[in-house]
Amino acid sequence: DTAVSQTPKYLVTQMGNDKSIKCEQNLGHDTMYWYKQDSKKFLKIMFSYNNKELIINETVPNRFSPKSPDKAHLNLHINSLELGDSAVYFCASSQDLAGFYGYTFGSGTRLTVV
Amino acid sequence: ELKVEQNPLFLSMQEGKNYTIYCNYSTTSDRLYWYRQDPGKSLESLFVLLSNGAVKQEGRLMASLDTKARLSTLHITAAVHDLSATYFCAVQETSGSRLTFGEGTQLTVNP
């Protein structure tokens, strides 16, 4: 019974295309996140939502748009994909913004833009 | 801006040996997390350290936090091959703020 699930696991697409990654958590957590891990394994936050409300919006191109239809789901839509968008995208959740109990990460979506 | 630095970034050690990974951070925080990542896999939570002097142990791994020195350590005792992975520390500056990750320490334990 997966706690934080992302789809798809792998995504290969051409430059200029638009794609979405979906994330769902069944932990009852209030807060969800998107992180990007680059080729050097460096992890950086992109967005966070708390109860469907956008809390953190890092310096991310406008081509990236998150959407949280409810607190169990956080999707990421990317327009006009570029080569530099190739990375692994991780969804995560925490019980609340405080993070006392830590963060649970999904299995990641490996995006390759060709 | 909060900066988190880990060292070493690469660590090759023999089974049975002990070693420590260090995590330094640049601003006040009392929330530090350690994660493990196997190649091609997700991040697995190892420890959550929430106060000065916190020490937690699980198997051959022990983590500690010194908020005054802005330093956390992950100590490996009698390493075994199964511990080979990349270890990340992450710091949350204040409640509700972003989690800032270190660069990761790639650990290889050789037989």
pLDDT tens figures, B33-55? 999 999 989 999 999 998 888 99
| pLDDT of B95 | 63
- The whole-chain average pLDDT of chain A stands at 93
Mind telling me how many Å the CA of A18 is from chain B's nearest CA?
A: 24
Sort strands A53-57 and A64-70 into parallel, antiparallel or unpaired.
unpaired
Answer yes or no: are the C-beta atoms of A89 and A43 closer than 8 Å. no
The radius of gyration computed from the CA coordinates of chain B, to the nearest angstrom, equals 13
Q: Least CB-CB distance to B50: which of A44, A97, A100?
A: A100
Question: Which residues of chain B lie closer than 8 angstroms to A40, CB-CB?
Answer: 103
- B22 contact A CB<8A: no
| pLDDT of A29 | 95
Answer yes or no: are the C-beta atoms of A90 and A108 closer than 8 Å. yes
Q: How many CB contacts within 8 angstroms connect chain A with chain B?
A: 56
Residue A77 above 90 pLDDT?
Answer: yes
The reply to whether residue A42 touches residue B86, judged by beta carbons under 8 angstroms, is: no
| pLDDT of B96 | 63
Residues 33-72 of B with CB under 8 A from A: 33, 35, 37, 41-45, 48, 50
Answer yes or no: are the C-beta atoms of A45 and B101 closer than 8 Å. no
- B98 contact A CB<8A: yes
Each residue's pLDDT, cut to its tens digit, for chain B (111 residues) gives 889 999 999 999 999 999 999 999 998 887 899 999 999 899 999 999 988 889 999 999 999 999 999 999 999 999 999 999 999 999 987 766 678 999 999 999 998
Answer yes or no: are the C-beta atoms of A82 and A113 closer than 8 Å. yes
β strands within chain B, DSSP E: 4-7, 10-14, 19-25, 32-37, 43-49, 55-58, 61-66, 71-76, 85-92, 99-101, 105-110
For A15-36, how does the pLDDT look when each residue is reduced to its tens digit (9 = 90+)? Answer: 999 999 999 999 999 999 999 9
Task: Kindly tell me the burial class for residue A106, based on how many C-beta atoms sit within 10 Å of its own C-beta (0-12, 13-18, 19 or more).
Answer: buried
| pLDDT of A72 | 96
Q: How far is CA A107 from the centre of its chain?
A: 11
Residue A1 above 70 pLDDT?
Answer: no
Q: Is residue A85 classed as helix, strand or coil in its secondary structure?
A: helix
CA-to-CA distance for B8 and A7, rounded, in angstroms? 34
Instruction: Say which residues have a Cβ less than 8 Å from residue A94's Cβ, sequence separation at least 6.
Output: A29, A30, A31, A33, A101, A102, A103, A104
Residue A28 CA: distances (Å) to CA of A6, A72, B111: 16, 7, 42
- The whole-chain average pLDDT of chain B stands at 93
